[in-house]
């Protein structure tokens, strides 16, 4: 079993107050008896690019009898007057593997490294007066599945780094967001990269900030009632990931990697969960991020690449073990004793199955996204769109239950119109072709108003709504359908769009709807009724549905009716209002209230073109 206290680089002081560093790394099957020798190469960060100053080399010791073939050394940081070695500050290190006198692997990083430096280097810091990070989130509790509203963001593109994201948290909260989903933040090799070819797993990429910066982001989010989940890329790695590179060059049996599963890059390395080391590595990794960074969950990228069935040793076992571990952490505890840990699967081939058969409480699924784009392209509306707003109607379970133990928790799919895998939704309505200038087409933001009924549907439908990185002000970047241009090109947000007429209108609508979702239980409930029998509405491109929440011991029942108009004209919609009382419009409050005097009384409601209305029964 992996013991994290044995590996990585750990600075410590001896009895005389002198600094020394313990290095440890597991290399299963790489042993001294086979003629292997391992060295660690260390340099002070301030000497990294100075001519004539080379890293200092130290031979590691193989621990005979170690089940995972641990190599380790504890070395003193003896002062060197010709360099900064021995002084306080940040040190960079890498490993080199030899067999006899022959170099096997020239350069590889620490797969358990807790910090990184410029270039593909691991790092540690010597500080005689360290200031441990002070967490202030003891009162934070992760939201329930039905309360979640997610914002997916790319840190670099959103606002440069972790500190930039902190600056925008109040803005996100105004949109109704209480969960942010960070695209991969771990170390990668390329300077501009989405993060889906990880090089190291235990530390954030130094271009986004240091470990303390990430902790500050999470802590600040928790202070504002926002949970943080990270993209967990556990099905594939960069070819230079240690447990790929070392075993490719040495020819020894690989303890972790195999051939990548499914459709992407079949000749590239992928993780093999039939191997115990793989299982243990990613479980220890999850536990580390929950404890060290107070992360609230994981969005597991490309689950088909690590899924071997609902009782398999891959994905299903990982989420089960992580769930059990999380039950001892206070921020996940529910009143019923279950964990509220967020475990979201990107298992697009079978999102319904992954929710019903594994310890996964949410999932990505492209149903709403795909159909909304078809409607936008081909200018039609039908009732399937309404059914997509009610995932249970389509066969999604609302509770996962372990039939053997009786353990259960609520589950729901994500609902979204945009994600990082697709071009912007606004592009489906029309484009400004700039291919000759920049090689891509931008969405025509003059058509922003056509997005509005879809936005209202997203906020008022069932499931877990998710926004993507500037969607709320009409970000209109294009994206190639295939090729490395998808991931090796930085598309920084056009924050200037926030101030123009299209951006102002869209942000205003998102903020109003965010407030409605926060303040009305019906929008986070499981109650949904589509007015399927009013077929004449569909002919006018209008959809109407109702959201309801039952009364509780402390709160009355709540009922809202949502009207969506996808047509080019204002529409008058007749509807039998189900309950007596005054119904008031919640988005703009410019429409007169509807006073219902008897059950199922028919009233006309005018719904603006490419817009919608939300009527609420006043308590």
**Each residue's pLDDT tens digit, 134-186:** 999 999 999 999 999 999 999 999 999 999 999 999 999 999 999 999 999 99
528-617 falls under which CATH superfamily? Golgi alpha-mannosidase II (2.60.40.1180)
| Element counts in the chain: helices (H) and strands (E) | 14, 32
Do the domains 8-126 and 528-617 sit in the same CATH topology, yes or no?
Answer: yes
CA distance 272 to 282: 11
Has this prediction a pTM greater than 0.85? yes
Spatial CB neighbours of 257, under 8 Å, sequence gap ≥ 6: 237, 241, 243, 244, 247, 269, 270, 271, 272
Match domain 146-238+275-519 to its CATH number in 3.20.20.80, 1.10.10.10, 3.50.50.60, 2.40.160.10: 3.20.20.80
8-126: CATH topology: Immunoglobulin-like (2.60.40)
Residues 346/303, Cβ–Cβ less than 8 Å = yes
Six token digits for residue 26: 């597991």
CA distance 252 to 247: 5
**Each residue's pLDDT tens digit, 299-325:** 999 999 999 999 999 999 999 999 999
Q: Mapping DSSP to helix (H, G, I), strand (E, B) and coil, where does residue 289 land? A: helix
Residues 452/429, Cβ–Cβ less than 8 Å = no
Residues 92/122, Cβ–Cβ less than 8 Å = yes
What was the pLDDT predicted at 161? 97
Spatial CB neighbours of 570, under 8 Å, sequence gap ≥ 6: 606, 607, 608, 609
Q: Indicate the domain borders of the chain.
A: 8-126, 146-238+275-519, 528-617
Residue from 149, 112, 101 nearest 27 by CA = 112
**Each residue's pLDDT tens digit, 41-96:** 999 999 999 999 999 999 999 999 999 999 999 999 999 999 999 999 999 999 99
Model confidence at 455: pLDDT above 60: yes
**Each residue's pLDDT tens digit, 515-546:** 999 999 999 999 999 999 888 889 999 999 99
What was the pLDDT predicted at 96? 98
């Amino acid at each position: 079993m992996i013991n994290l206290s044995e590996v990585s680089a750990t600075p410590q002081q001896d009895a005389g107050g002198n600094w020394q560093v313990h290095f440890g790394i597991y290399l299963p099957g790489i042993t001294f008896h086979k003629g292997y020798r391992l060295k660690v190469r260390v340099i002070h960060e301030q000497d990294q690019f100075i001519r004539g100053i080379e890293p200092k080399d130290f031979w590691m010791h193989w621990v005979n009898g170690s089940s995972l073939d641990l190599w380790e050394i504890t070395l003193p940081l003896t002062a060197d007057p010709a360099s900064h070695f021995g002084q306080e500050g940040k040190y960079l290190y890498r490993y080199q593997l030899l067999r006899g006198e022959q170099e096997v692997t020239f350069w590889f990083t620490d797969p358990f490294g807790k910090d990184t430096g410029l270039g593909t280097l691991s790092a540690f810091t010597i500080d005689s007066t360290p200031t441990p990070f002070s967490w202030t989130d003891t009162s934070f509790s992760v939201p329930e599945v039905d309360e979640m509203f997610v914002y997916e963001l790319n840190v670099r593109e959103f606002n440069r780094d972790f500190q930039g994201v902190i600056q925008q948290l109040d803005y996100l909260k105004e949109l109704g967001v209480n969960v942010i989903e960070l695209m991969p933040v771990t170390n990668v090799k390329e300077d501009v990269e989405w993060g889906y070819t990880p090089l190291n797993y235990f530390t954030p990429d130094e271009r986004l900030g240091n470990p303390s910066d990430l902790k500050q982001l999470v802590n600040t989010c928790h202070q504002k009632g926002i949970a943080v989940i990270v993209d967990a890329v556990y099905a594939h790695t960069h070819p230079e990931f240690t447990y790929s590179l070392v075993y490719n060059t040495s020819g020894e049996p690989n303890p972790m990697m195999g051939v990548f599963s499914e459709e992407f890059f079949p000749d590239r390395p992928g993780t093999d969960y039939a191997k115990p080391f793989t299982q243990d590595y990613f479980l220890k990794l999850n536990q580390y991020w929950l404890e060290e960074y107070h992360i609230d969950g994981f969005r597991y990228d490309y689950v088909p690449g690590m899924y071997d069935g609902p009782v398999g040793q891959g994905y299903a076992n990982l989420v089960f073990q992580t769930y059990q571990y999380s039950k001892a952490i206070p921020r996940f505890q529910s009143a019923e004793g279950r964990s509220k840990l967020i475990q979201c699967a990107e298992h697009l081939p079978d999102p319904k199955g992954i929710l019903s058969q594994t310890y996964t409480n949410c999932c990505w699924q492209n149903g709403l996204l795909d159909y909304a784009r078809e409607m936008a392209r081909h200018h039609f509306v039908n009732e399937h769109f309404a059914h997509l707003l009610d995932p249970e109607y389509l066969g999604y379970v609302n509770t996962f239950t372990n039939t053997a133990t009786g353990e259960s928790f609520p589950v729901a799919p994500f609902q979204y119109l945009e994600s990082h895998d697709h071009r912007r939704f606004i592009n489906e309505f029309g484009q400004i072709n700039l291919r000759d200038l920049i090689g891509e087409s931008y969405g025509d933001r003059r058509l922003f108003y056509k997005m509005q009924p879809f936005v209202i549907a997203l906020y008022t439908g069932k499931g877990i709504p998710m926004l993507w990185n500037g969607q709320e002000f009409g970000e209109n970047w294009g994206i190639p359908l295939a090729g490395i241009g998808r991931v090796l090109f930085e598309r920084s947000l056009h924050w200037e769009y926030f101030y123009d007429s299209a951006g102002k209108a869209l942000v205003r609508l998102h903020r109003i709807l965010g407030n409605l979702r926060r303040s009305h239980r019906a929008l986070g409930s499981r109650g949904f009724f589509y007015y399927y029998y009013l077929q004449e509405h569909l002919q006018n491109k209008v959809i109407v549905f109702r959201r309801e929440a039952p009364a509780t011991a402390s709160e009355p029942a709540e009922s809202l009716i949502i009207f969506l108009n996808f047509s080019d004209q204002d529409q008058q919609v007749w509807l039998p209002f189900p309950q007596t009382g005054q119904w008031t419009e919640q988005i703009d409050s410019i429409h007169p209230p509807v006073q219902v005097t008897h059950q199922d009384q028919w009233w006309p409601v005018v719904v603006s073109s490419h817009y919608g209305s939300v009527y609420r029964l006043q308590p």
